[in-house]
């Protein structure tokens, strides 16, 4: 996914403050990320990681098709923005988190911070104008930089919803997943990604024991195989212990790990698809060596395979399969044109319960179907990711 960047106060936050001043497993069920979710309240537990009320949450709609041999059925789903991008405040107009650091008064400890602080909503207009997340027709556009008169936002991450309070879950074995992408404005150095991660369907609301009252409706519960330390809230508590505000992005003591399947990580110069298995099941808050932190030289000691087993056409020594067609350079797949990407998850016995043995890829462009390129590097054969 596009990396979470430390950012200045967003346009939405500044605008609202200004208005206030003037007024005085092998087959886990996975939630899909596009790049870019039931509440549980316990009467005996103080409300925490609460929901703000300045802006009503409104999820941008997006079409989704489910297909079988008889044809395809169109459904209208929606997307929700990750909680890490959201304005976090005290229920009024005081920021709990600003300029990469936590407010010491509102956040003296993780539990009090979650109790004092609110994740605010965003309407369709804010999604587009503040965060660069726009749906139109059958597509979704994520802008990397969105500037307004009040500030700027960099990157975004959104999740596909099944309903207003739950993420859409996918069981991939014996299935194929298809999407159409447009990479022509994605230069080298940027990464647009679509991937699956083993998040909880309700965004971790139930498993938090009542401390996460925002849930999937507000994009909580993210995890991935890199065990990111930059999530502001984990399991309904603020990730503020040992917070390093000078890091880019700022990071806390804990990471949050889970299995990941990268369907599409690409720009207009290169692409890869990559499974990242983990030794744990579901979202797991990590600490110490199990996080596999790079700066501690523990990358290969953690609970997840951070490198994964990827297929990158260029790295597999085929330098003419995917790229931007220009004078003097020709590619089988032209990244300057829209492209349909098909990924198949093959089981050993052709059933939904069989063992996953092969992840295959092919492309469709301008009516032409193209199989993935073959590997040309020593010790690696074929054109897919297998259990070998």
Which positions ≥6 away from 119 have C-beta within 8 Å? 49, 50, 51, 52, 83, 86, 87, 88, 214, 218, 220
Q: Report how far residue 274's alpha carbon sits from residue 130's, in angstroms, rounded to the nearest whole number.
A: 31
Nearest to 199 by CA among 64, 37, 82: 37
Burial 65-88 (b: 16+ CB within 10 A, else e): eeeeeeeeeeeeebbbbbbbbbbb
Q: Which two tokens stand for residue 297?
A: 């030289």
Give the three-class secondary structure for 17: helix
Q: Report how far residue 317's alpha carbon sits from residue 371's, in angstroms, rounded to the nearest whole number.
A: 16
The answer to whether 333 and 322 are in contact (CB under 8 A) is yes
Which positions ≥6 away from 120 have C-beta within 8 Å? 12, 51, 52, 53, 54, 55, 86, 87, 88, 89
Q: Which residues pair with 72 in a beta bridge?
A: 67
- Is 366 annotated as catalytic? no
Q: Report how far residue 63's alpha carbon sits from residue 194's, in angstroms, rounded to the nearest whole number.
A: 16
Nearest to 31 by CA among 180, 216, 160: 160
- Is 265 annotated as catalytic? yes
Given the residues 260, 287, 295, 366, select the one marked as catalytic.
260
Count of CB atoms within 10 A of residue 129's CB?
A: 18
Torsion, Cα of 164, 169, 175, 177 (10° steps): 60
Given the residues 13, 198, 265, 290, select the one marked as catalytic.
265
Active-site positions read 260, 265
């Amino acid at each position: 996914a596009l990396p979470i960047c430390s950012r200045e106060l967003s346009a939405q936050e500044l605008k609202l403050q200004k208005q206030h001043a003037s007024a005085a497993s092998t087959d886990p069920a996975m939630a899909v990320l596009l790049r870019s979710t039931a509440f549980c309240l316990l009467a005996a537990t103080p409300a925490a990681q609460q929901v703000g009320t300045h802006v009503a949450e409104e999820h941008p709609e997006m079409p989704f098709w489910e297909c079988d041999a008889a044809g395809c059925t169109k459904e209208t789903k929606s997307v929700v923005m990750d909680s890490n991008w959201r304005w976090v405040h005290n229920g009024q107009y005081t920021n709990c988190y600003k300029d990469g650091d936590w407010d010491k008064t509102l956040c003296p400890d993780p539990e009090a911070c979650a109790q004092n602080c609110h994740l605010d909503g965003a309407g369709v207009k804010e999604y587009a104008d503040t965060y660069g997340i726009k749906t139109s027709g059958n597509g979704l556009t994520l802008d990397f930089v969105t500037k307004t008169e009040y500030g700027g936002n960099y990157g975004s991450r959104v999740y596909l919803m099944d309903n207003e309070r739950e993420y859409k879950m996918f069981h991939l074995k014996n299935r194929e997943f298809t999407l159409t992408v447009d990479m022509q404005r994605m230069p080298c150095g940027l990464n647009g990604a679509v991937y699956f991660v083993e998040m909880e369907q309700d965004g971790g609301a139930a498993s938090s024991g009542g401390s996460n009252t925002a849930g999937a409706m507000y994009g909580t519960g993210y995890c991935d195989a890199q065990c990111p330390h930059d999530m502001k809230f984990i399991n309904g508590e603020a990730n503020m212990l040992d917070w390093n505000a000078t890091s880019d992005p700022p990071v806390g003591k804990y990471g949050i790990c889970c299995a990941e399947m990268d369907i599409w990580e690409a720009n207009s110069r290169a692409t890869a698809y990559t499974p990242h298995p983990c030794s744990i099941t579901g979202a797991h808050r990590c600490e110490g060596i199990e996080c596999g932190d790079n700066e501690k030289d523990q990358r290969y000691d953690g609970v997840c395979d951070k490198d994964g087993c990827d297929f990158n056409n260029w790295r597999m020594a085929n330098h003419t399969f995917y790229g931007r067609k220009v004078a003097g350079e020709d590619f089988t797949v032209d990244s300057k044109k829209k492209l349909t990407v098909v990924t198949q998850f093959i089981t050993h016995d052709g059933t939904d319960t069989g063992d996953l043995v092969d992840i295959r890829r092919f492309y469709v462009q301008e009516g032409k179907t193209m199989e993935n390129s073959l590997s040309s590097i020593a010790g690696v054969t074929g054109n897919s990711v297998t259990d070998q």
